[in-house]
Amino acid sequence: MPRERYQDSLDELRSDVLAMGDRVVERLDDGLDAIERRDESLARDIVDGDAEINETYLRLEDRCVDLFALQQPVAGDLRFVTASFKIITDLERVGDLAVNLANYSRAATRTVAPDAEIEALGEAARALLERSLAAYEARDADECRAIAEADDEVDAMCQHASETVTRDLIAQNDDDSWAAERLLDDVSRVLLTIRDLERVADHAVNIAARTLYMVENDPELLY
């Protein structure tokens, strides 16, 4: 096949994006773990490790720019490089959200916080992220559409979790102002955690949307 070096560059970009995806999923797992176990040292590792994700992001962004400038990809190749260029941004943001989770875990006292089923929510968001990366790898347009639909369930879970937490807060009728403040802190953090997990799922949908564009030139899910 002609243009072998160019084809090799495309293959390499694909595998590097997937490797970045795997790393980000690991970070997200760590973030969820840190929250669950209130593991201070794990949380610190996540915060410190974000630089590595950022470096990978910049390196891959540079690779895409080189491909645009030097190889002028067209047609399916163009859509692949364009999609990858956007997908790495989503992955980098998920890395940032994992850092957020780590920071929440370090600050949480969890003495009075209500049970918002964060673990199940985290698992659902993580599953969507993994599915979106698998769809990118397999160029699976149907799975992309299925991911967008599944995001509705995650949104519903987030909505339910937020309501549970808020109701719990209202139900508390403690005269102890110190305890009330602690509760407010915890509740705020839990609400932020819910929001961030919802955003992880949204980034998964973005990845699916770019993948669908890549595979079928279909912009249906882009906005």
Partner 1 sequence: MSENTNPQTQTEPQTGTATTDTDQPLTTTTGETDEQAQDEWTEYEFAGEAKMTVENLDVHYGDDHALKGVSMEIPEKSVTALIGPSGCGKSTYLRCLNRMNDRIKSANVDGSVHLDGEEIYQDGVNLVELRKRVGMVFQSPNPFPKSIRENIAYGPKKHGDLDTGLLARLLNRSDAEERDRLVERCLRDAALWDEVSDRLDDNALGLSGGQQQRLCIARCLSVDPEIILMDEPASALDPIATAKIEDLIDDLSEEYTVVIVTHNMQQAARISDQTAVFLTGGELVEYGETDQVFENPRSKRVEDYITGKFG
Question: Of the candidates 17, 28, 32, 79, which one interacts with partner 1 according to CB under 8 A?
Answer: 79
Segment interacting with partner 1 (CB under 8 A) among 41-49, 76-84, 92-100, 202-210: 76-84
Question: Of the candidates 73, 95, 114, 122, which one interacts with partner 1 according to CB under 8 A?
Answer: 73
Question: Of the candidates 15, 54, 109, 217, which one interacts with partner 1 according to CB under 8 A?
Answer: 217
Do residues 139 and 215 lie in contact, with contact meaning Cβ atoms separated by under 8 Å? yes
Residue 132: CB minimum distance to partner 1, A:
22
Nearer to partner 1, 87 or 187 (CB): 87
> For the residues of 177-195, what is the DSSP string, one character each?
HHHHHHHHHHHHHHHHHHH
Nearer to partner 1, 75 or 170 (CB): 75
CA atoms of 172 and 164, how far apart (whole Å): 12
Do residues 70 and 5 lie in contact, with contact meaning Cβ atoms separated by under 8 Å? no
Residue 71: CB minimum distance to partner 1, A:
9
Supply φ then ψ for residue 117, to 5 degrees: 55, 45
Residue 65: CB minimum distance to partner 1, A:
17
Our finding on whether 139 is near partner 1 (CB under 8 A) is no
Residue 106: CB minimum distance to partner 1, A:
47
CB 4: neighbour CB atoms within 10 A? Answer: 8
Our finding on whether 54 is near partner 1 (CB under 8 A) is no
Question: Of the candidates 18, 25, 47, 78, which one interacts with partner 1 according to CB under 8 A?
Answer: 78
CA atoms of 71 and 191, how far apart (whole Å): 46
Our finding on whether 15 is near partner 1 (CB under 8 A) is no
Nearer to partner 1, 194 or 212 (CB): 212
Rg over alpha carbons for the chain, rounded to the nearest Å, is: 20
Q: Is the dihedral of CA 106, 110, 116, 120 positive or negative?
A: positive
CA atoms of 60 and 76, how far apart (whole Å): 19
Our finding on whether 2 is near partner 1 (CB under 8 A) is yes
Residue 81: CB minimum distance to partner 1, A:
11
CA atoms of 100 and 47, how far apart (whole Å): 8
Do residues 115 and 192 lie in contact, with contact meaning Cβ atoms separated by under 8 Å? no
Question: Of the candidates 41, 69, 74, 176, which one interacts with partner 1 according to CB under 8 A?
Answer: 74
List contacts with partner 1 (CB under 8 A): 1-3, 6-7, 72-79, 217-218
